[in-house]
Amino acid sequence: MQTPKIRIPLLPRLPAGTQFMGRGILFWWRVERQTGRYGSVWLSDSFDAPEDCPSPMVVCDLGSCGQLIAWLLDEGGIPLPDYYATPRRPGQLVPLGEGRSFVADLGGPPLALGVKPATGRKYNWLSANCLHFLQACRVELLWAPRAKPRTMRTRFPQRR
């Protein structure tokens, strides 16, 4: 039996009113993966010692509704496994998640930016597939404000 390929949803263009949040190599704290929350990300200037070189980020409209988007700047990062059907290409706009923005302090100097979904789910606040697609890639994080939150569908069943 062949494993189904993972397709990454890409945005055709930036939504109106999109705001720049920061530029750097995309990371998330280990606790996000261990708990399955995948709720926040942070940027670094260094691949080898990310915690020592956090990139400055602009926190846009904390607590507001919107969409967190990553604009891929280069094809680097951790090599993609064979089960990804979408190749990395500079310029891709990858939606990470939608909800209310927040800042998380999860154990280190870099503060992480994230979104809490309007659905109230406990896991996969951001798309884990999109995060792994962009793991350790140089990106620009963008915030697209929305008047009210939309729900983001996830392919993973929710844990109870």
* pLDDT tens figures, 20-44: 999 999 988 888 888 889 998 988 8
Which residue is listed with tokens 């500079």? 90
- Per the domain annotation, does 52 fall within a domain? yes
Environment class of 83 (CB within 10 Å of its CB; exposed 0-12, middle 13-18, buried 19+): exposed
* pLDDT at residue 65, rounded to an integer: 92
- Per the domain annotation, does 66 fall within a domain? yes
Distance CA(149)–CA(138), nearest Å, equals: 27
- Per the domain annotation, does 82 fall within a domain? yes
Weakest-pLDDT range from 67-71, 73-77, 85-89, 125-129: 73-77
What percentage of the chain exceeds 70 in pLDDT? 88
Domain that holds residue 41: 19-145
* pLDDT at residue 73, rounded to an integer: 95
* 144 touches 69 (CB < 8 A): yes
- Per the domain annotation, does 159 fall within a domain? no
* pLDDT at residue 151, rounded to an integer: 55
- Per the domain annotation, does 102 fall within a domain? yes
- Per the domain annotation, does 28 fall within a domain? yes
- Per the domain annotation, does 14 fall within a domain? no
Number of domain units in the chain = 1
Work out the average pLDDT over 87-98. Answer: 94
- Per the domain annotation, does 152 fall within a domain? no
3-state percent breakdown (helix, strand, coil) of the chain, nearest 5:
10, 30, 60
pLDDT single digits (tens) 50-72: 777 788 888 777 888 999 999 99
